[in-house]
Amino acid sequence: MGSAPEASASARIPAPAADPHGVRPVADAPSTLQLLRSLGSGPRGLTEDEAARRLDRYGPHTLPHARPEPFVRRLLRGLRDPFTAVLLCLGLVSAAVASWGTACVILALVAVSCVLRATGEHRAERSVAALRELVATTATVVRRPGDAREVPVADLVPGDVVRLGPGDLVPADVRLLRAHGLTVHQAALTGESVPVPKRAVDLPPGPDDTTHLCFQGSGVASGSATAVVVATGADTRFAAALKVAGRRRGASAFDRSVHGISWLLVRFMLLTPPLVLMANAALRGRGLETLPFAVAVAVGLTPEMLPVIVTTALARGSARLARGHGVIVRRLPALHDLGAVDVLCVDKTGTLTRDEPVVDAGRSDSEALRWAGISAWWTLQSADLPTPDPLDEALLAATGPEDWEAYDGVGVLPFDPVRRLATAVVRAPGAALGTHTLAVKGAVDEVLERCALDADERKRLAVRASELTGTGLRVLAVATGERAARRRPWTTADERGLCFTGFVAFTDALAPTAAAALSGLAARDITVKVVTGDHPGTAARACRDLGLDPGDTIRTGTDIDTRTDAELAELAAGTTVFASCTPSHKARVVRALRSRSTVGFLGDGVNDVPALHAADVGLCARGAAPVTRESADVVLVDPAGDDLGAIAQAVAAGRHAGATITSYLRITLSSNLGNVIAMLAAGLLLPFLPMLPAQVLVQNLCFDAAQLSLAYDRADPGEVRRPTVLRPRAFLRFIVGFGVLNAAADLATFGILLLSGPGLSSPDVFHAGWFTENLLTQALVMVLLRPSPCGPAVRWSVAALATLGVAVPPSALGPTLGMTALPGLYYGLLGAVLGVYGAVLWAWGRRVRVRPLARP
């Protein structure tokens, strides 16, 4: 067991489009002879000349893949971010009104942001490209007059005859001509965790039956075969999944959150200059001479460093993950999306379990286990098989030499996927002279049929086996039989009248770190859901063994098919395990969950590609199918194979990056909004401009440079405990409240300037006083308006910012910027204002605890 009976294998393998060369339809030709005739081939293959002609016609057998994106195009793609585009426009407008300093700074920030983002993604693409050698590179081909040789996979053409053996990767889509005991691993295509029997048939049973076909991307588990190539390159089932991989993705969590904030700010910035111009024209009679000031006000509201902060935070997090945890982030915003993930969908095989069975000794009959081990050992020895069957490996691991060495192997009848049995003939120690013992193991119904049992006993044993399989176990039946020694070969006719010995139960080997990783994800408020092509019982048992409650009901593909999208969203929210799922089922489940949550999907097979594209962030492991790696946003290449543990680390890095971005927005926008409110009020009340464009530029440069330290700040433990999503409405309430508080501090500063001297009548004194107060309040905001104590980088930046605020006006640079030294009384009164402002800021921040990064 292990595969889903409800979903056929063909339904799980992506079907290709119609073949433009007319080759693909012959795979379903009525008979083998008609197939070979249609391909112009035969049992001995093609001639070298004909193969060369077909190679020219069809081209190399390589999977279509997207060309590497040029670096310049990556740079330009960075401008599609709405906020970066707005900054670019503001820079151009600043240049148009001759504010050259402002224009140069803004355009430089845009360039730095685009370069950082493009460089990080280019580095990730190079790392992923290094994994592409995991695909088969050669194949054994028969070419007329019948010689077998190794040729590059890229040289295969339709009509080639290839040979397959244990351990080989299937190099193309093929139809079997001959097969002996052939089973293949096609988990990468269908999600089935056990090898699938394949056989050669002259007449296929039906269009949905694929037992006579093997597809590129699968691997031979046991047996051997000769097959004819029916599809190569873009016509293979593997390539069909690439078309899904090439589809454009929908908006991710990063797009929805940051873009929502960006467009909110865009509206403010577009409204600000006209309002300033109209207000100054109506109340002060000023004309276009206030345009530079209006642009400066818009720039003052703009968090110019946002693109740089976002890119730096994400790039640093991605670099740390690549160096320390074997995680390659191919798309930088995907790291932010990981921080926002609150639902993680995983496949069972390769993630929660290893792709190998183990004996469940507690549910196996000890005598049956001993005889099954003997059969496995002597079958492997006598049949001279190159590699043991996975079940035999599990049996050998559960038993030991003390169980085998006392017996002498006499003969063997290897496993046959049609007969579904394997038999070893041994000489038991102490047995009567001339007596041999048959040790038979195999499918329950086949073994019971060959045992000397009455109908009631056979039915009772079948029910017991069904109960075991119902709990997610795989079951082998074991029987023995005493036979007289002889010289002639043993045959399947001897497998009759056996004595039933018992059952051996197998379960999937659990990934050694999966249980701890699941606990770590739960501690971070991430709900794990299993979406697999495996049988419901198998999936549920793996979950229980790992401490993940599968719930009362395991949903299957049938449950998905009978629900509308709205009904499925409700069902998915309360379901932990979806089993017997096709690729389309997985994608629907992910889309349904995404309507309420931020969803990550971890997969490794071609059948997972649609779900990877449906998720906010797609993840895959190092050993994933090449097409899956090309489709994923994040590739886990940890040599230890701790995929879930690596995801937990990536989630923590994503949440830290998200918290950094939000801290910047929270600090900058609340401060900037307060400054803009005060600037507008002062512009209407004063007979001169409250702040010169050059002063706005220098102030913003100082503040922006200080805030760059936020990207290098340490992570707060509280930041990584919960999923992080920017919510524009809550964020707007936050910055308006603290922005008004900041404006009140600015207006209080205007009052002390009036009390301490000719502040309101002297533009230089007013400019100097407000410049100093602005930088000091912004320094306070950086320290107090954050959920945790700041690290060394931020402390040094805050100290430098405060020093500049006090030192610049009386310095030689002051007169150049239109500022002068301030009277001593001003500093005393300003200290009192800042003390009150800091106390209110600290108390209000602790009371409100508004977190723009919060659970959705």
Edge-first strand listing for the sheet containing 353-359: 353-359, 499-510, 474-484, 435-442, 421-427, 408-416
Helices 565-573 and 583-594 pack at an angle, to 10 degrees, of: 80
Please identify which residue in the block is written with the tokens 């489709």. Answer: 631
CA 621 to chain centre: 9
Cα separation, 67 vs 305, in Å, equals 32
CA 177 to chain centre: 39
Full DSSP string of 594-638: HTTS-EEEE--SGGGHHHHHHSSEEEEETTS-HHHHHH-SEEE--
Neighbouring C-alpha atoms within 13 Å toward the C-beta of 777? 33
Residue 285's contacts (CB-CB under 8 Å, 6 or more residues apart) are: none
Closest CA to 547 of 516, 524, 521: 516
Catalytic residue among 81, 168, 347, 534: 347
Q: Is 102 helix (H, G, I), strand (E, B) or coil?
A: helix
Residue 847's contacts (CB-CB under 8 Å, 6 or more residues apart) are: none
Question: Quick one: tokens of 277?
Answer: 């111009």
Neighbouring C-alpha atoms within 13 Å toward the C-beta of 623? 13
- Integer CA distances (angstroms), 612 to 117, 256, 633, 650, in order: 23, 18, 9, 17
Contact between 360 and 506 (Cβ < 8 Å): yes
Q: Is 240 helix (H, G, I), strand (E, B) or coil?
A: helix
Mark out the alpha helices in 399-533 (DSSP H runs): 401-404, 444-449, 455-470, 514-523
Active-site residue, 347 included: yes
Closest CA to 773 of 761, 758, 759: 759
- Omega prior to 583 cis, within 30 of 0: no
Residue 671's contacts (CB-CB under 8 Å, 6 or more residues apart) are: 703, 739, 742, 777, 778, 781
Cα separation, 38 vs 848, in Å, equals 76
Closest CA to 530 of 477, 588, 589: 589
Name the phi and psi angles at 359, rounded to 5: -75, 135
Name the phi and psi angles at 298, rounded to 5: -60, -40
Closest CA to 16 of 193, 166, 215: 215
How many beta carbons lie within 10 A of that of residue 324, not counting itself? 11
Contact between 693 and 293 (Cβ < 8 Å): yes
DSSP strand pairing (599-602 vs 617-621) = parallel
Contact between 624 and 189 (Cβ < 8 Å): no
Cα separation, 247 vs 78, in Å, equals 20
What torsion, rounded to 10 degrees, do the Cα atoms 720, 725, 730, 736 define?
80
Closest CA to 518 of 533, 507, 529, 508: 529
Closest CA to 798 of 723, 735, 724, 706: 706
- In the chain, what is the straight-line distance between the N-terminal and C-terminal CA atoms, in Å? 40
Which positions are annotated as active-site residues? Answer: 347
